[in-house]
Amino acid sequence: MRKPAIFAVLLAATLVLAACGGSETGPGAKAVTLTLNWYPYGEHAPFYFGVKQGIFAKHGIDLKIQAGQGSGKTVQAAAANQTDFGWADTSALAAAVEQGVAVKSVGVFLQTTPASVQFFQEKNIGKPQDLKGLKVATTAGDALTKTFPAFLKQNGMAETDVQIQNIDPAGKMAAVISGRADVLLGFASDQGPTIQEKAGKPVSYLRFSEFGLNYYSNGLITSGGTLGKDPDLVKRMVAATAESWTAAEKDPQAAVDTMKGASQQLPSPAVLVEQFKTTVTLLHTDATKTSGPGVNTAADWKSTIETFLRTGVITKAQEPGAYWEESVAPRG
């Protein structure tokens, strides 16, 4: 056989393999992208575990996990079909929906918000009013830029009572460690353990949920277009995600071990375990404590919507169905 003919045969074989999704996930697996809310940290372990354990492959999904740059940007990327699915905070989702962005939640997993103000214990900060006059490090585009003003309002304060410093994610932690900022805004399941390890000093928190502001937090989202065009894919992605979280919850160490090499910014193994164990405490409300991960209720959605309305995250409340696609969400 002449070389051109040989090349044609090889090319045809390559195209067939590509159409099948590659050998790792088996014939028919669909390439799917998931954009996180941030750089990978312990909270995201179930996705890596699900890939490693073949859970996503079992559901016909060849999952590619991508770092995010804040929930707001992840929501916009999902709505624009720049990613098939996103992992984002519900406050960012609700604000986007109010602006007419075609995106929906298909299951909130963190049902108690990990949003918090973080600082070294030596600062002796015990209540929101202690933040007056302090320098607050935050990052434009993340979920807390929406909810921190609500947290202040809930506790009788205004944004003008603090000094906001917009800093990139890595710089935010460095600013607190060096003393250039007094506190930072972040998830209690994210930055705090890393700062504590790097500085060798205990970190404390003002958790939003403990000062009158609790709401649905991170969950799986997708665009209205994807829901309309491929509801079967959405159902399979939701099922695989719920199954992966259930499996990871049973073996946290094994779950975080699968994150090795996920990112240059990845925290240490010890911090990853602490982050994920904290995350597991946030998975349910009283209404879902006997249910699996990602199971939501209309009543909890209404409570979250009312909280967002009361605190100014949104200006008009809609029914849960405007934000949440119950038909594809986890059940039971």
Quick one: pLDDT at residue 43?
Answer: 97
pLDDT value of position 26: 59
User: pLDDT by residue (tens digit) across 262-292?
Assistant: 999 899 999 999 999 999 999 999 999 999 9
* Cα–Cα distance for residue pair 102/96, rounded to 1 Å: 8
Q: How far is CA 219 from CA 4, 13, 74, 158, in A?
A: 51, 39, 12, 29
Q: How many CB atoms lie within 10 A of CB 247?
A: 17
**What is the spatial distance between Cα 86 and Cα 68, in angstroms, rounded to a whole number?**
9
**Alpha-carbon gap, residue 182 to 164, rounded angstroms:** 11
Per-residue pLDDT at 7:
36
Domain ranges across the chain: 29-112+216-328, 115-210
Return d(Cα 323, Cα 13) in angstroms, integer. Answer: 44
Q: Which residue, chain included where needed, has tokens 């108690």?
A: 112
Tell me which CATH homologous superfamily contains domain 115-210: Periplasmic binding protein-like II (3.40.190.10)
Q: How far is CA 9 from CA 6, 15, 227, in A?
A: 5, 10, 38
- 29-112+216-328 is classed in which CATH architecture? 3-Layer(aba) Sandwich (3.40)
Residues in the chain predicted with pLDDT less than 50, given as ranges, are: 1-24
Instruction: State how far Cα 17 lies from the chain centre.
Output: 33
Note the pLDDT of residue 170.
Answer: 77
303 CB-near residues (< 8 Å, 6+ apart): 215
Query: Do 29-112+216-328 and 115-210 have matching folds?
Result: yes
pLDDT for the residue 299:
97
pTM over 0.75: yes
Question: What's the pLDDT tens digit per position in 210-255?
Answer: 999 999 999 999 999 999 999 999 999 999 999 999 999 999 999 9
